[in-house]
Structure 1
Amino acid sequence: MQQQESVSPVAKKRLGLVEFVALMATMTSLVALSIDAMLPALDAIGEALHANDASEAHLIVTLFFAGMAVGQLFFGPFADTRGRRAAILLGLTIFVVGTLICMSAQTMTTMLIGRVVQAFGVSGPRIAAMAIIRDLYVGDAMARVMSFIMMVFILVPMLAPIVGQTVLLFFSWPHIFSLFLIVAFLAGTWFFTRQSETLPRQRRQRFSFTRFLSSSKYILTHASVMGYTLAMGCIFGAFLAYLSASQTIFQGYYQAGKLFPFIFATLAFSIGIASFFNGQMVMRFGMRTLCRVALVGVTVFAVIFNFILLSYAGLPPLWLTVMIMFTGFFFVGILFGNLNAMAMQPLGDMAGLGAAIIGSLSSLFSVPIALFVDSFLNGTLYPIGLGFLVFFVLAGICVRMAERATPCSANTDT
């Protein structure tokens, strides 16, 4: 099975693979850090800011993704017009402003506004990093690099709740936001001293509303791009329902207390293993083949998980829940990098706008899914299990539609 690792001309100027992967993972990890370090503090923040109930505290997580959906639509065209470095500089600046708003919040409304501003800003580094990767790699090579980046990136959700819990032991919850400021400064310094611009001026597209509409129309009407994007939305929506409710599930339903960060890290480790496996296997088998196998895997996982829920009245023993989720999240981890790479593949020089629309649509699709699923939480895991089953199946349907719309010549498995 012959594989081609295609790179663009600017790839000759790129950093070594190890440093590049570490740098891109750091830039994108601001998203995970801003979400997962907050999880142990949700109850404390809700109490301090007089939240009406636990679901209002969950908005600290879910509204972050809504803010990212809007931010990505801005930073996509901005990155294509002004360059990748400018997008990262502006994004980090806005992220700092949002973080300062959250630190000084006296009401839940102010906190949620700050989180949306934070999310809008962090979209800059995320979109620019995705565009930089697409500038340098395409096809299975991009999926391979994305998997290595995900492997490093996954350390953040593994460690962030532990770090957040540690901060709470010695300080108060506003100091978690101090951590965000430090990481943003270090990441920005590293990026601007080591990574050159990957979109030369002669390749930049001067912003034109007509061109924006034309490019957007091309992306939005590209059947394979939209199929993979909707599949990502389904997969991430079901996962986000778990993510935003994880603190309630493990500390509320299972009374895990301070063990919560370690349980969360264990489940995140499953996605890290999957990313490493995918990085090793994607050049051999191709991202489409691995994606098909993973879709079967998540569907079987969802069926078994729901059967277990029925056997234990909706709340299985903690060890069993962790074990079955660990297995299922392995297949979810394989899907994350591959679906995004397949959606980005046809977009070429419009990588910035493409990453923006793909990220924004998948977020806008996933947030309502998560809110809908979590609205049914009532002391059992039935809503989470059914959410997994329904939306994993829908993701499989979307991928099948995307594959049928993809010309044979674009199939990177051959």
Structure 2
Amino acid sequence: MNQASSTTTSGSAAGMHPREFVAFIAALMAVNALGVDLMLPALADMGAQLGVATANHRQWIITAYMLGFGSGQLVYGPLADRFGRKPILLATLAGFVAASVFAAGSQTFAALLGARVLQGLMSASTRVLAVAIVRDRFHGRQMARTLSVAQMIFFLVPIMAPTLGQLLLNTLGPWRFIFYALAAFAAFVLAWSSLRLVETLAIERRGSLSIAALGSAYRLTLTNRFSAGYAIAAAMTFGGIIAFVSSAQQIFVEEFGMGDRFTYLFAACAFAMGVASFANSRLVERLGTRLISQAAVLALIALSVGHIAVILLGVESLVSYMLFQALSMTCIGLCGSNFGAMAMEPVGHIAGTASSIQGFITSVGAVIVGSLIGQSYNGTTLPLAIGYLGIGIAVLGVVLVVEEGRLFHARQAP
């Protein structure tokens, strides 16, 4: 079957209008985004009630989730390639509901971290399967455009989530209700998947769970320089998001004294990523994934140098921080879906397993990068700015290796 007919067949199999399909993919992504961002306003309350003495240790509520999220992705791709997308998705969404209820009942910090790891393990399927389901239907620039539109909707979640979390705290009181809200949203997506999603992986395209088949898929994904290289590049840029999310509450509240406006300021930075995804969805088919992402990396480096200079000159303010942070998040937003599409392009025939491996690299790598930057927080914005400069330089180096020293060309992956 040729690519065109395959795309048409899988598209009709999805059982959804294109707009509903994009909204559904965005909802899958939102399960993970809410799992990270909804409790940001409650980190201080959680730490106080569960006896966390060091402020930086509260960041582990975020990083524990991301560790589970990254590790779980190794499992779901091969399972989805063998048994199909839908049954794996339904089982893990149900598991996320249970883990959220367990988190709500945690009586110690260790128990909460355990529940967060379990939440991450369950939500890992949403990243793997969202990419695999989209790849079942589309490829190349069309895939990047679809992911960008979904991510544009998805990025509304970080904009709204802290405000929603604060609203839950103000109206319902204890931080535990935040986890009940997560359980309710995951249950909604579970029902939507059960009723509306039709399996996108045809039986004749399903793979084997044999050691030989998995070894071949892993070898191809990890040895293809486009697949592995752009997954590593995505890990580094995603690490910038983890660093910001982990330290945002401390920066806005402790450094700038904006506790009463934290949710709005956080939303403004997240909004920049939504704008970037919207712009990417409109431009990527015309300009290409390489031109947009590589220009964004160079811009991130320039912005980081400028931000460091402002800090060292002693003129950093809330306004300057917001400006540099929002522009940096815009650059990161322009990298994400494009790096993901380029990483998947040469391994579309093993989309589930490849998405698992790439997702593991991206998520665990991001946790390492983000934690190193976040844990270096010292009461100023300098560690974050230096971290972003390091990310930009490292990503540029990876891109140059992958593209054999050439930038801004239309080369296609073999």
TM-score scaled by length of structure 2: 0.94
1:349-389: CA deviation from partner (whole Å, max 9, x where unpaired): 21111111111011121212222222221111111011000
Q: For 2:36 and 2:186, how far apart are their aligned partners in 1?
A: 14
Indicate if the aligned counterparts of 2:290 and 2:410 stay in contact, CA closer than 8 A.
Answer: no
Whichever residue aligns with residue 111 of structure 2, its letter is T
Is 1:41–1:165's contact at 8 Å kept on the other side of the alignment? yes
Distance (Å, rounded) in 1 between the aligned partners of 2:294 and 2:373:
25
CA distance in 2, matches of 1:143, 1:238: 21
User: Is 1:400 aligned to residue 400 of structure 2?
Assistant: yes
**1:336 corresponding residue in structure 2:** 336
Superposition pairs for residues 18-97 of structure 1, below 5 Å? 18-97=19-98
Aligned to 1:256: 258
Aligned partner of residue 199 in structure 1, secondary structure: coil
How many Å separate the matches in 1 of 2:12 and 2:188? 26
> Displacement of 1:412 after TM fit?
4.8
Counterparts of 1:6 and 1:265, CA distance in 2: 40
Matched, 1:214 2:216: yes
Counterparts of 1:103-182 in structure 2 under 5 Å?
Answer: 103-171=104-172, 172-182=174-184
Whether the aligned pair in 2 keeps the contact of 1:8 and 1:137 (CA below 8 Å) is: no
Residue 20 of structure 1 deviates from its aligned partner by 0.8
Amino acid of the residue matched to residue 75 of structure 2? F
Gaps of 5+ in 2: none
Q: Does 1:233 align with 2:245?
A: no
Q: Secondary structure at the match of 1:105?
A: coil
- The whole-number CA distance in structure 2 between the counterparts of 1:13 and 1:266 is 38
Within 2, Cα distance between the matches of 1:327 and 1:348? 32
Cα deviation for residue 5 of structure 1 reads 12
How many residues are aligned here?
407
Residues 268-304 of structure 1 show CA distances to partners (whole Å, capped at 9, x for unaligned) of 1100001000000011111111111111111111111
In structure 2, relative to structure 1, the CA distance for the partners of 1:377 and 1:26 (3 Å cut) is: same
Structure 1: any 5+ residue segments left out of the alignment? none
* Rounded Cα–Cα distance in structure 1 between residues aligned with 2:313 and 2:105: 47
SS at match of 2:111: helix
2:46 touches 2:175 (CA, 8 Å); kept in 1?
A: yes
Q: Does residue 327 of structure 1 match 2:343?
A: no
- 1:375 is aligned with what amino acid? Q
For 1:367-386, what aligned pairs fall within 5 Å after superposition? 367-386=367-386
Structure 1: how far apart are the matches of 2:199 and 2:13?
Answer: 9
Query: Which aligned pairs between 1:267-346 and structure 2 lie closer than 5 A?
Result: 267-312=269-314, 316-346=316-346
What residue is the counterpart of 1:12 in the other structure? Answer: 12
Query: Is 4-13 or 134-143 further displaced after alignment?
Result: 4-13
User: For 1:184 and 1:384, how far apart are their aligned partners in 2?
Assistant: 32
> Matches of 2:163 and 2:228 in 1, distance apart?
37
Distance change in 2, residues 1:328/1:5 (3 Å): farther
User: How far did residue 108 of structure 1 move?
Assistant: 0.4
Q: Give 1:332 shift.
A: 1.1
In structure 2, the CA distance between the partners of 1:260 and 1:5, relative to structure 1 (3 Å rule), is farther
User: Aligned-pair RMSD on alpha carbons?
Assistant: 2.0
Q: Distance in 2 between matches of 1:248 and 1:384?
A: 12
Residues in 2 aligned to 1:362 and 1:126: alpha-carbon distance in whole angstroms: 11
Contact 2:131/2:355 (8 A) holds in 1: yes
Tell me the residue number matched to 2:244: 242
- Partners of 1:364 and 1:312 in 2: how far apart? 35
* Letter aligned with residue 263 of structure 1: L
In the alignment, the residues of structure 2 paired with residue 245 and residue 49 of structure 1 have an alpha-carbon distance, to the nearest angstrom, of: 19
Counterparts of 1:108 and 1:191 in 2: how far apart (Å)? 33
Q: Deviations over 1:293-336 (max 9, x none)?
A: 111111111111111111127xx211111112112211111101
Compute the TM-score of the two structures, normalised by the length of structure 1. Answer: 0.94
